[in-house]
Structure 1
């Protein structure tokens, strides 16, 4: 083992590999910070470049760009309330509320440090427990996924602190969006109204860009005459008090990192679901749940830990069984085969040196995130000093270009503008946006796993509780639904 580690270290000490890591890090930070350019797109665009690289630097480029893009999505979310990646949308309102209070530095510093801690935790789990966790992930059938998705959707109601009913309605809007098109178990076109563009459904990225970015531009355009709320360019120190913060919330960091690894290891899950569930659980178990939504850093600490920890988790089934944990590892698996690093149980015996070099690059990328992330935050903070009447049109232009570039479709541009208007109307009437986004992310998984489970069980609902993991998740989910109602009923009777 010691010889393998020495050889792996020699591989990544190559100046060429280190330069690839450095440039990939800067590229990933840029891609994540621009709304519409997700971490998945960043990795996809790297694939043609990797054709001309040896195996280790090719995988290093993808690992580094992914880690950086997941973090940098927090920067526009915090400063402008426009999340750069879908996983940043889980706590965008919390981070922006801190910016309005002059605590953007604290929010971004906490997100950066906890992303590093979560990423390192996920990497260590990947190194030492990959086979065990991969077997656990493979035990998940459609029954377990159904309950896991329901648990994630339940967390959307926790996010809607002001009005659970409005949060529920917002969630239903997101679930309805996923029913559009032919992306359903029966392959039947629904709510297409004869439009060919709607047959493939509505893409998440144009919707998210519209709901968070275009709605913000609309709000500025409508509210500027009344005196739009401005944010000062002095957002405070970035790392001041971060040590005390980690000491204050060690359970949040550990819980978020652990949940991120587990959710990341589940095929088809990923950082988006991990972030939403972590933020919801953080509020549920917090000693100060009433502060969530007002600019409270605890939820950011837990969700950002889960974000980057899920990256290591997603590589577990990808490396051990060749099963992608998320859309990013689905791309990476193709590159692994192309470079003759065939994933599977034998990879630990056939290619141990390149494999452990990849593990070391995970660690290097997360450590490199601290200085480069700090520099990115310092650079991005200048955005707040730009006059809004100049900044908002530029943001709108970036959003429309980003939406078009996903599928080279003007239809996606129309989707972005339409959902920008919908989001503006929702927020003006007190409906939160986060449950809608989560409903869109999880709606397809909910339907496909429900239908598949009902087909396998011949319609018997008790089959959803037959398997140990499914039964446990089912009981937890139903308890979360029922216990608050029972407690409210008891309190109302006592009051009466």
Structure 2
């Protein structure tokens, strides 16, 4: 109880509340602009959090991402342009409701169900994380190696239709993570006699480059060429929302729990959760023929799922240090910059901080309604900002943030180089998710594998010596077998189609 009271006093300090509200408004702005995703908003916040204490830093990112996901629903309902990938699953439903004169109701359902789903996710996060952490205290280097490898493998498996491209993206991330001195052997690798690379590549320029700079490069051709139409005015945003939510309460609650579980899977994330829950809702609906015509049932389920998945992704991130998605990968990077290593020990060594993080999650989701309503009211003004003004300012912010890491121009060049690489990868349908997860998980996989090999004197069968390690190892090998099978199956199909033509 004393720890909870201390956590409450930490969160409800005026400076923490100001940061949470400010970051929420920033997230609403970023999410409402088509193309500026929640991940990009998080990456842009990292340079600011560099100068903060751990709690306000995490509070800023948690608040901004929750708001950005919700704000991504606004251009979807008004313009049929999803603001974030997590909003794409139900963009058509929301837009078609708007064409029926129910745009206010569609956005009201988005806000209310996102809040409900987020609260379910927070409850599961706060309840299950400490229990899993107690179990994880029995882990050795064997279990951590297999768990990190399993997380990376799952990220590759769900990264797209071509697993081979996911593997290549993962290998590039592992290459980046190996630059500098080995944490176990002390061997220098890939430094090219550049003193600035002796300590490895800093995580901050990597994050900004892979997400923010790459997205800007992709959007540059649109500057001055594509004009966003003037959106309609939103009237009565909560009219009939309570009635629709009560009618489809079963689907909303189901999606809240299921979205949390999907979010906890490494590499899945809110966008996959919303698509899966939308599909399940359609499958179980009494009126599946109404889906795709402006039906609120799918909107209720998918909106609840995406914010629940955000909370679920923090379960493996906090308990094991394994990112559930790209946003939690950024969170882990921020915590490491603050000298805090996520894992089961953090629940005992930093119990007050963990409780404070849970409270910030709760506060951020409760703020969705009032601030989301503000964003809906301001949508016409937000969506009218010229991209020719917005994008250069974002690029300038990226450069300043990368330089501030170590006061080094090398970090700026690394950021720009990785941004160009990520842009070229995205243009050729290579997923970025496995790459950033590999940057985070690479050192965990390498250090735990080497420690296990030192203990076992090089006998790799010792990795399967403990029951938990055996289970995780078999799961990881099964995932890799699925990846290899899928790759050869796709190659066979491609060869057959080429032969038939």
Contact 1:465 1:471 in 2 (8 A): yes
What is the CA-CA distance between 1:384 and the residue it aligns to? 3.4
Q: 1:386 to 1:360 in 2, by over 3 A?
A: closer
Q: C-alpha separation between the residues in 2 aligned to 1:316 and 1:77?
A: 29
Alpha-carbon contact 1:36-1:205 (below 8 Å) kept: no
Post-superposition CA distance 1:174-199 (Å, at most 9, x none): 11111111254222221111101111
Query: Any conservation in 1 of the 2:121–2:310 contact (CA below 8 Å)?
Result: no
Which among 303, 308, 313 is matched to residue 305 of structure 1? 308
Contact kept, 8 Å, 1:275 with 1:307, in 2: the verdict is no
Q: CA RMSD in A?
A: 5.3
Give distance in 2, aligned partners of 1:39 and 1:177: 22
- The answer to whether the Cα contact below 8 Å between 1:457 and 1:463 also exists between their aligned partners in 2 is yes
Equivalence for 1:205:
204
Q: What secondary structure sits across from 1:185 in the alignment?
A: coil
**Distance in 1 between residues matched to 2:332 and 2:175, nearest whole Å:** 23
- Distance in 2 of aligned mates of 1:165 and 1:277: 18
**Which aligned pairs between 1:96-107 and structure 2 lie closer than 5 A?**
none
Whether 1:234 aligns to 2:240 is no
Aligned to 1:372: 371
Equivalent residues in 2 for 1:238-387, closer than 5 Å:
243=245, 247-248=250-251, 250-258=253-261, 276-278=267-269, 282=273, 304-309=307-312, 344=348, 363-375=362-374, 382-387=381-386
Alignment partner of 1:136: what SS? helix
Q: Which residue of 1 aligns with 2:62?
A: 67
What displacement does 1:305 show? 2.4
In the aligned structure 1, how far is the partner of 2:487 from the partner of 2:447? Answer: 34
Matches within 5 A, 1:469-480: 469-480=468-479
Paired residues of 2:141 and 2:452 also in contact (CA < 8 A): yes
* Contact 1:100–1:231 (8 Å) recurs in 2: no
Mark the runs of 5 or more structure 1 residues left unpaired by the alignment. Answer: 51-58, 81-90, 264-273, 290-295, 319-324, 335-341
Displacement of 1:472: 1.7
Distance of aligned partners of 1:398 and 1:110 in 2 relative to their CA distance in 1, 3 Å threshold:
farther
2:19 aligned residue (24, 27, 33): 24
Q: Deviation digits for residues 405-444 of structure 1, max 9, x if unmatched?
A: 3333222211121112212222232322222222212212
When residues 23 and 454 of structure 1 are mapped into structure 2, their CA distance, relative to the original with a 3 A threshold, is same
Aligned to 1:160: 159
Question: 3-state SS of the aligned residue for 1:386?
Answer: coil
Distance 2:334 2:20 in 1: 16
**Distance in 2 between residues matched to 1:22 and 1:101, nearest whole Å:** 35
SS at match of 2:458: coil
Q: What residue number does 1:459 align with?
A: 458
Provide the aligned length of Structure 1 versus Structure 2: 430
Q: Summarize deviations over 1:189-236 as a string: whole Å, max 9, x none.
A: 211111011112222332232233323333344566xx9565546399
TM-score in terms of structure 1 length: 0.66
Per-residue CA deviations over 1:312-354 (Å, capped at 9, x if unaligned) read: 7877899xxxxxx9566679999xxxxxxx985998xxx9xx9
- Corresponding residue for residue 404 of structure 1: 403
Q: Which residue of 1 aligns with 2:188?
A: 189
Contact 2:181–2:187 at 8 Å: present in 1 too?
A: yes
Match in the other structure for 1:88: none
Q: 1:216 matched to which residue of 2? A: 215
Are the counterparts in 1 of residues 63 and 361 from structure 2 also a CA contact under 8 Å?
Answer: no
Name 1:55's counterpart in structure 2: none
Distance 1:317 1:167 in 2: 23
Q: C-alpha separation between the residues in 1 aligned to 2:185 and 2:476?
A: 27
Structure 2: 5+ residue stretches without partners: 31-39, 76-82, 281-297, 322-330, 341-345, 497-501
Residue 181 of structure 2: SS of its match in structure 1? coil
**Distance of 2:232 and 2:438 partners within structure 1:** 33
